[in-house]
Amino acid sequence: MMPPRLLESSSIVGALWMFGAVTSFTMLSLVGRELSGDLNAFQIMLYRSAVSLLIVAVILALGGRGERGFAQLRTSIPGFHLGRNVVHYVGQYSWFYVLPLLPLVQITAIDFSMPIWALLLAAAFLGERLTGRRIVAVLLGFCGVLVVLRPGVDSFEPAALIVLGASFCYAATFIITKRMTATETPLAILFYMFLVQLLIGLAPALPGLVVPELDRWPWVIAVGVSGLAAHYCVTRAFIVAEASVVIPVDFLRLPAVGVAAWLLYGESGEIWHVAGAGLIVLGIWINIRSR
């Protein structure tokens, strides 16, 4: 068992890494919204993958020939990399697609269903047990999703279902990543992620490809940097701390995105978004307490 002081120290470090991920994901939301007026979702994905891949390649090159360099890319599970990144590409494309269609607060609230999906997938594919509390957590999560989506109500937005599908893809990606961290380095996971998604994205993005004006390139670079930083921070957070420490920090995304969307775009979240997100968070909290 880890000594209390060491456990506390690792928990603080893990929470700080996750806070970095929250900041990066919030930035990614804002940058993606900004670029959606110039580029379609496929093109945003292509530029994001290219910028991120270039940054990771430079980091590996600076590491030299040893274990800090390209030697980190050795892998015995190429199929996992391919499968993970196909699923993630579908989820990321869906998320970028709806950015100009829905309020950022609504998108973020639905995103909170990801841990609920992950709970079900972990039970199905990792053999984790579904206890009574975890079943309650799942039910609360789906009730929260229904409150946010409000199907059958005049204000129902079909595009919200795309966000729900993206959250499922992210959950599947997380489950695969959890399996991969046993043998793969964080930089290897990121390198193959952006390489595979760059290759996948060429065919749909090249027809009618828009080359941004010079003054838009800072946004293009920002989408790559923020995406890379977010995924790196999440990976590091789960390496150094327990999930019960890391996951609650992600709840900061809702107020962070809400304030940013209000200040920059004049968006105001509806009470249904907050209430639904609250039910989802309650379900996740019950699941954490059951561990």
Residue 100 phi/psi, 5-degree rounding, is -80, -5
Q: Please give the pLDDT value at position 152.
A: 58
The DSSP code sequence of 233-254 is HHHHHHHHS-HHHHHHHGGGHH
Q: Is residue 3 part of a domain?
A: no
* Best mean pLDDT range from 10-14, 22-26, 287-291: 22-26
Side-chain half-sphere exposure of 213, counting CA atoms within 13 A: 5
136 versus 54: which is more confidently predicted? Answer: 54
* Alpha-carbon span 10 to 13, nearest angstrom: 5
The sign one gets for the Cα dihedral 290, 139, 235, 149 is: negative
1 versus 285: which is more confidently predicted? Answer: 285
Q: Is residue 2 part of a domain?
A: no
Domain housing 72 = 8-208+215-289
Q: Is residue 219 part of a domain?
A: yes
Q: Is residue 237 part of a domain?
A: yes
The DSSP code sequence of 116-154 is HHHHHHHHHHS-----HHHHHHHHHHHHHHHHHH-TTST
> What's the CA angle centered on 241, arms 280 and 144, to 5 degrees?
5
Lowest mean pLDDT among 4-18, 71-85, 88-102, 230-244: 4-18
* Alpha-carbon span 22 to 209, nearest angstrom: 30
% of the chain with per-residue pLDDT over 70 = 88
Closest CA to 96 of 137, 37, 136: 37
- Indicate whether this model's pTM tops 0.75: yes
Q: Domains in the chain: how many in total?
A: 1
Closest CA to 60 of 194, 169, 159, 203: 194
Give the distance, in angstroms, between the CA of residue 71 and the centroid of all CA atoms in the same chain. Answer: 27
Q: Please give the pLDDT value at position 8.
A: 52
% of the chain with per-residue pLDDT over 90 = 40
Q: Is residue 1 part of a domain?
A: no
